[in-house]
């Protein structure tokens, strides 16, 4: 009897295992043992209630979770577990479609296209339809098609909705041709797997009836992550089934993938009468970690009330540290890691994780870890200096510096300039004949290279940008920014809708700026590139002991003894893009993301941010509102005092109307000077760094960093 083996479960866990009647929502907080509950529940059904295993369907979001669940049930009840359907949404649908897809006019041996295949096919459609791929990129089209499929919108429906909008109509035309070509190739893309299953069930009631009667017990793990299409599939299958969903609305962090927190919040409206069981005992974290995490998430309104608790009361205080700079922040983290490993018995680097809101934030901590000889691994992404856009940008700088051929080859057609393989071979031949660099071949012997008029124009823009950068007297970080704009690289990333890649470019700019500050004697481009090579050439040996670095999205479902969450500055975390695009909903998801990050820690949690200027938000940094929201219990602040409100820096007295200083040729700026900006209004100078002013404007503008001679800026007479 399985029940004899579950005596160690707490009362809520046991109730969730034994409750097998009616729709059930298991509200499972972080670290509350939901996987154990699900596996014991299914084992109990088969072993104690004599339910046939093939009548049980368990759906997860990852292959890893499905495999783990299958193995755990198998350990309890043996090979009978193999007859259950335990798989991801997509794998479940593939299994159904392999049997039934002929009813939709496809062959059973259909091919599943991956992302690369999709991109290739969409490129072909763009070419056939004669769409300018610089104006509407395949990346944008792929995103729009995927979103349409998530919302169960067919190509025809999408076209009808957008036929009056020129840009969207073009995307709709690609969507229609893309689906037509997929079918001709007897292929489905990843999104189609669920879409076509839903389509099948709607078109063929008999097939739907078969699966409705087959699956008498349906379990859905991580239910907070379902989107419209997944939810609809569960609804279709559940006509005769006992549905049990497990999730935590406080951990809904994938809205950008289509997840909708309202499906779990409103579960009782579509599945009733139902029972909600709350798993609120946490087996992972200490009392102080939970106290801080609970205080934060309570600020959200879109949630189901629960209060995680643990028998591990107290524990180490959560530490919040405010550093003077990002470099100092990274050094503080690295020093703390060394202290933990050296002074805590049995602790090694594998027990430690560094988490961040966005991948670009790894750059500074990576460089410090390398310098200190602490091995690390990036999960869910490349190391900073190995990322494509970073390598591209550095290649442009190398071309400015010394006309390097490898750099030239990397960037000559990025962005696209109509220079393909044959043209490049022609340039290489000319360079060889004249014994010169590829860049010189292009600029000095262009008459020997066959270029289209369009390519000539693009090359002219490139050369002018490179030469302008060479002549530039601007500080290196400003020269770099202008170069990226002039060569069209920033526009290319914007067109691809890749905000994270643009952020990496901004972070590289920050790297250049930091280099200038620390090398005032010789802040040359040559020295910077040499400096960087020392990091990028690092080949650390994997001894199995390393600190884990990853985004918070990647960390969901994982746990570590010691967790550092860096970059807790307003506009970075919470992300200004989320706030700007999604308002209150965006803020609540950012707060859920912070909650997920905090609850990854078992023994101790460290939160860090820094002063200084952010090139991503284009403003001086203040501490994240989340630091303020966690309260003062169970947390210790160190370093500088956290700064939360812009109004703290703006003088309370209003500035009377004053005469503006002439043509703004002011060279004696000082802290406290009052200013007026054509757009931002009145403000006060809070920092002077040579020709850059940090200015606190009246809200909502807040803190800005501007050139002292900015044409929109005027100094006010006191």
Preceding peptide of 255 cis, ω within 30°: no
**Any residues with CB less than 8 A from the CB of 423 and at least 6 apart, and which?**
449, 450, 451, 455
End-to-end CA distance of the chain: 85
Instruction: Locate 439 and state its tokens.
Output: 């860049």
Partners of 112 in beta bridges: 188
Catalytic residue among 15, 18, 19, 35: 35
Q: Is 600 labeled as catalytic in the residue annotation?
A: yes
Nearest to 481 by CA among 457, 459, 522, 513: 513
- CB count within 10 Å of CB 512 equals 23
Nearest to 556 by CA among 592, 586, 584: 592
Catalytic residue among 173, 191, 192, 221: 221
Contact 66, 89 (CB under 8 A): no
Nearest to 483 by CA among 571, 407, 394: 394
Instruction: Characterize the bridge pairing of strands 613-614 and 619-620.
Output: antiparallel
Element of type H or E holding 697: strand 692-697
Q: Is 251 labeled as catalytic in the residue annotation?
A: yes
Q: Is 510 labeled as catalytic in the residue annotation?
A: no
**Length of the chain measured in residues:** 718
**Any residues with CB less than 8 A from the CB of 676 and at least 6 apart, and which?**
655, 660, 682, 683, 713, 714, 716
Catalytic residue among 600, 643, 682, 714: 600
Q: What is the sign of the dihedral through the CA atoms of 224, 225, 231 and 237?
A: negative
Q: Is 88 labeled as catalytic in the residue annotation?
A: no
Q: Is 35 labeled as catalytic in the residue annotation?
A: yes
Catalytic residue among 34, 196, 591, 621: 34
Q: How far apart are CA 716 and CA 718, in angstroms?
A: 6
Per-residue 3-state assignment (H helix, E strand, C coil) for 607-675? EEEECCEECCCCEECCECHHHHHCCCCCEEEEECCCCCCHHHCCCCCCCCCCCECCCCCCCCCCCCCEE
Per-residue 3-state assignment (H helix, E strand, C coil) for 556-613? CCCCEEEEEECCCECEECCEHHHHHHHHHHHHHHHHHHHHHHHCCEEEEEEEEEECCE
Catalytic residue among 47, 150, 222, 327: 222
Which active-site residues does the annotation give?
34-35, 221-222, 251, 600
């Amino acid at each position: 009897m399985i029940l004899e083996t579950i005596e160690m479960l707490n009362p809520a866990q046991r109730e969730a295992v034994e409750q097998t009647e009616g729709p059930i929502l298991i509200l499972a907080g972080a670290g509350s043992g939901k996987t154990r509950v699900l596996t014991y529940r299914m084992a109990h059904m088969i072993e104690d209630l004599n339910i046939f295993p093939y009548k049980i369907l368990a759906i997860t979001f990852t292959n890893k979770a499905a495999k783990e669940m299958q193995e755990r049930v198998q350990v309890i009840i043996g090979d009978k577990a193999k007859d259950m359907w335990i798989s991801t949404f997509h794998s479940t649908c593939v299994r159904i479609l392999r049997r039934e897809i002929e009813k939709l006019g496809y062959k059973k041996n259909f091919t599943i296209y991956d992302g690369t295949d999709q991109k290739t096919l969409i490129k072909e459609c763009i070419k056939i339809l004669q769409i300018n791929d610089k104006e509407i990129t395949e990346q944008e089209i792929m995103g729009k098609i995927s979103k349409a499929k998530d919302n169960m919108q067919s190509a025809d429906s999408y076209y009808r909705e957008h036929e009056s909008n020129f840009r969207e109509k073009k995307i709709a035309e690609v969507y229609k041709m893309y689906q037509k070509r997929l079918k001709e190739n007897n292929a489905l893309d990843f999104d189609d797997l669920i879409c076509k299953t839903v389509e099948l069930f709607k078109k063929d009631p008999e097939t739907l009836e078969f699966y409705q009667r087959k699956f008498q017990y349906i379990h859905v793990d991580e239910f907070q992550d379902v989107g419209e299409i997944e939810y609809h599939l569960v609804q279709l299958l559940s006509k005769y089934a006992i549905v049990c969903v497990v999730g935590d609305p406080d951990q809904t962090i994938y809205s950008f993938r289509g997840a909708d927190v309202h499906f779990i919040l409103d579960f009782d409206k579509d599945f009733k009468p139902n029972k909600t069981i709350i798993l609120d005992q946490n087996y992972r974290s200490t009392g102080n970690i939970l106290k801080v995490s609970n205080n934060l998430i309570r600020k959200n309104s879109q949630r189901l009330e629960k209060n995680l608790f643990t028998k591990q009361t107290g524990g180490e205080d959560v530490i919040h540290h405010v550093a003077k700079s990002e470099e100092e922040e990274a050094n503080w983290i690295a020093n703390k890691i060394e202290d933990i490993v050296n002074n805590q018995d049995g602790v090694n680097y594998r027990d430690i994780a560094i988490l961040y809101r966005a991948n670009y934030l790894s750059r500074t901590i990576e460089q410090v870890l390398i310098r200190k000889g602490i091995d690390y691994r990036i999960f869910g992404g490349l190391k900073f200096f190995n990322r494509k856009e970073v390598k591209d940008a550095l290649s442009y700088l190398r071309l400015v510096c010394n006309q390097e051929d490898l750099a030239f080859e990397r960037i000559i057609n990025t962005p696209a300039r109509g220079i393909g393989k044959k043209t490049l071979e022609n340039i290489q031949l000319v360079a060889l004949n004249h014994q010169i660099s590829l860049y010189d071949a292009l600029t000095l012997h262009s008459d020997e290279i066959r270029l289209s008029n369009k390519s000539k124009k693009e090359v002219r823009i490139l050369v002018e940008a490179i030469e302008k950068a060479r002549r530039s007297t601007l500080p290196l970080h400003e020269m770099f920014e202008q170069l990226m704009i002039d060569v069209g690289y920033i526009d290319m990333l914007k067109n691809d809708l890749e905000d994270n890649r643009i952020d990496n470019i901004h972070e590289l700019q920050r790297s250049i700026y930091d280099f200038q500050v620390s090398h005032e004697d010789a802040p040359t481009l040559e020295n910077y590139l040499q400096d960087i090579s020392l990091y990028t050439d690092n080949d650390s040996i994997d001894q199995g002991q390393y600190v884990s670095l990853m985004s918070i999205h990647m960390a969901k479902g994982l746990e570590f003894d010691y967790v550092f969450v860096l970059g807790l500055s307003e506009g970075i975390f919470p992300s200004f893009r989320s706030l700007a695009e999604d308002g209150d909903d965006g803020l609540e998801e950012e707060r859920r993301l912070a909650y997920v990050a905090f609850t990854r820690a078992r023994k101790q949690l460290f939160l860090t941010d820094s002063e200084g200027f952010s090139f991503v938000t284009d403003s001086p940094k203040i501490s994240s509102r989340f630091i303020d929201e966690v309260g003062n219990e169970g947390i210790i602040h160190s370093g500088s005092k956290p700064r939360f409100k812009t109004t703290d820096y703006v003088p309370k007295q209003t500035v009377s109307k004053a005469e503006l200083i002439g043509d703004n040729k002011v060279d004696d700026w000082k802290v406290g000077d009052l200013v007026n900006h054509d757009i931002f209004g009145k403000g006060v100078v809070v920092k002077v760094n040579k020709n850059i002013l940090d200015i606190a404007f009246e809200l909502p503008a807040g803190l800005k960093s501007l050139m002292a001679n900015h044409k929109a800026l005027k100094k006010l007479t006191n």
